[in-house]
Structure 1
Amino acid sequence: MRTLPLLALSAMLAAPAAAETIYVTNERGDSVTVIDGATLKPVATWPVGKRPRGITLSRDGKQLYVCASDDNAVQVIDRATGRVVADLPSGEDPETFALSPDGTLLFASNERDATVTAIDVPRRAVAFQIVVGVEPEGMAVSPDGRTAVSTSETDNALHWIDIASRKPIAETSVDARPRHAEFTADGRWLWSSAEIGGTVQIVDTATHKVVETIPFAPPGIAPEKVLPVGIRFTPDGKRALVALGRANHVAIIDVATRKVTGYIPVGQRVWQVAIDADGTRAFTANGLSDDVSVIDLKTNTVTATIPAGRAPWGVAIAP
């Protein structure tokens, strides 16, 4: 049997195991930057609609959905060609959205008209629309597909929607300017970031009441610069990463204890964060430094900085 030289074997073991692709919306560039996950280099820039912000992958992985906020549409992008193949109808100024577990409904928050639009994805038509709080921003759908939640920046509230009845069912008061909402995998808790409040709050989904408030204090950073926005859980559900805006840091929270365990310095004005499927790396969209920070989640350090377009806002990862 032929034996590989030690150096060759070491190189094979050190090679990237997965060829992920990272997609970044550039709010002021009207584009999506495509990054090769193996080389950590930009490989393409796709033109899209005006002021792209929220971005996510379709359930089958073949398409991307992008909020073209100033075009009042959610655009569908073919991953194979990079072309916009459809504009899904939304309300005015969609910022973010959330997909139902089966991928058939997409819930978009419409900042200007204070509504949430439920889009029937296969039909590319509006399924229904609900009035919520003023300036709705973040959207989340529960893992069981029964409940949608929007965050109202001006009302400082979360609005809960029963998807089956298409009616609002509850309202939760939270800290100032809620921006992002994220359900835990079991659907038991909803985590919500408050940008001006400088906190993340945990809500009991059974009672719709806040049960925990988590503050942040990155070393050497003025409190007024701590502006939490994006929240993501690692695949094992053990840690949460929170983008802290102008603090230029990502906070790491132990989900079990609900305590901050560390801070990672990243690029300027970090908006959103995405975590890869095996939980080894995170990618941040840095809106003022026009780049993406790559975080090694084993060492909690930034290992690379990747140039993007103008004002990166959202991040999505595809295997």
Structure 2
Amino acid sequence: MNQTPARRPVLAVVTSTGEAIRFFDGLNYEPLGTLPVAAQPHEIAVDHTAELLYVSHTYRSGVYTDPGEKAHEISIVDAFRRELVDVIPLAPEEAPHGLALDAGRGLLYVTVEAGPAGGGAVVVLDTASRRPVGRIEVGAHRPHWFAITPDGRKGYATNKADPFISVLDLARGELAGRIPAPYGTEEVAVSPDGVHAYAAGMALHYDGGPAGRPPATLMVIDTGSGEVVRHVSLAAPGCPVHVAADGRVLVGLVATDAAGHSAAGRLSVHGSGGLEHHFDAPVGKVPITIRTTPDGARAFVANLYSGTLHVIDLNTGTVERELDIDPGDQGAHGIAYLA
């Protein structure tokens, strides 16, 4: 009697420069193929039940500090077939970036830098109709990453160029508060139990003045009170933040040399709550996105300037593999892992 072989996990990595998604076997990391997509894909949200990827397209060319023409699409990709399913146009909304999926309610939250209804906002998409059903102003110019609590009631939008994190009441569809973050923030992540949110920032828009740059820290936020309950010291400015299924907090550290040029970064791994530092592991230049396997045993780190992806064993702190994604200066960005 013939048996269908068990399906193997898939690892997907976006290259903004290469305008494509690279697919790899999720166990041995052998290449499976490349899917060309629209200009400058950035981040990925995963619908594990439908086995779909939602991919944001932020700019036609350029970067946050020099964007050029802004894009307005969300691509939908079948992860296992490696096929483009649909493209959702968000125009006249501009520059979608951060994505968060509430699979239970069938809602996809997308940050946009601007639109005709106002400034920076979170656009709410219905995943069944693939149409916008709401828009929530964040009170900032160009929001970036976004995360929601497990119960789907609160959302957190980080702002690279504004001194606060925007807190959204998703049930009411309104801005509910601001968490002070004087030097701007990059990615935000919420713990699986919903008790804490974590954010860090590279202070890209702060010259430091006479005192120099501010100390690099990880912000630990109590989601109940909306207050920062501690700052955890980091060896270098943090950019991406991710929480594994076991509660460990992973931060990508962006390093520079004495001349101010990008240098090899680190993956900083902390215990639940962020306070206890476990270890650092070497990664490439400008780690931009971190994701983990469902069991929390391995981390994947996309390195923007190196155009590589590091696979880290989180039990030993060692680098298992380094995958070449694209040699461009935005060669590796969003990551998805589907088992």
Runs of 5+ consecutive residues of structure 2 not aligned to the other structure? 1-5, 60-70, 204-213, 256-263
Structure 1 residue 54 corresponds to structure 2 residue 30: no
Structure 1 residue 245 corresponds to structure 2 residue 254: yes
| CA pair 175-166 structure 1, distance change in 2 beyond 3 A | same
Partner of 2:106: 104
Partner of 1:11: none
Any conservation in 2 of the 1:89–1:126 contact (CA below 8 Å)? no
Paired AA for residue 221 in structure 2:
V
User: TM-score, normalising length from structure 1?
Assistant: 0.87
SS state at 1:267 partner: strand
CA shift at 1:85, angstroms? 1.9
CA shift at 1:124, angstroms? 0.8
Identity fraction in percent:
25
Any conservation in 2 of the 1:130–1:167 contact (CA below 8 Å)? yes
Partner of 1:201: 219
- Between stretches 133-142 and 54-63, larger displacement belongs to 54-63
Deviations 1:109-162 (A, max 9, x none): 112441111111111111111221122011011101111111122112111111
User: TM-score, normalising length from structure 2?
Assistant: 0.82
Paired AA for residue 27 in structure 2:
A
**After TM superposition, which residue ranges in structure 1, 4 or more long, deviate above 3 angstroms?**
none
Runs of 5+ consecutive residues of structure 1 not aligned to the other structure? 1-16, 218-225
RMSD: 1.8
Separation in 2, partners of 1:151, 1:308? 27
Partner of 1:216: 234
User: 1:1-319 maps to which residues of 2 (within 5 A)?
Assistant: 19-70=8-59, 71-90=71-90, 91-102=93-104, 104-112=106-114, 113-132=119-138, 133-196=140-203, 198-217=216-235, 226-237=236-247, 239-246=248-255, 248-256=265-273, 258-309=275-326, 310=328, 311-319=331-339
Any conservation in 1 of the 2:192–2:245 contact (CA below 8 Å)? no
Deviations 1:7-33 (A, max 9, x none): xxxxxxxxxx98321111101111111
What is the number of equivalent residue pairs in this alignment? 294
Any conservation in 2 of the 1:42–1:307 contact (CA below 8 Å)? no
CA shift at 1:87, angstroms? 2.0
Partner of 1:3: none
CA shift at 1:77, angstroms? 0.8
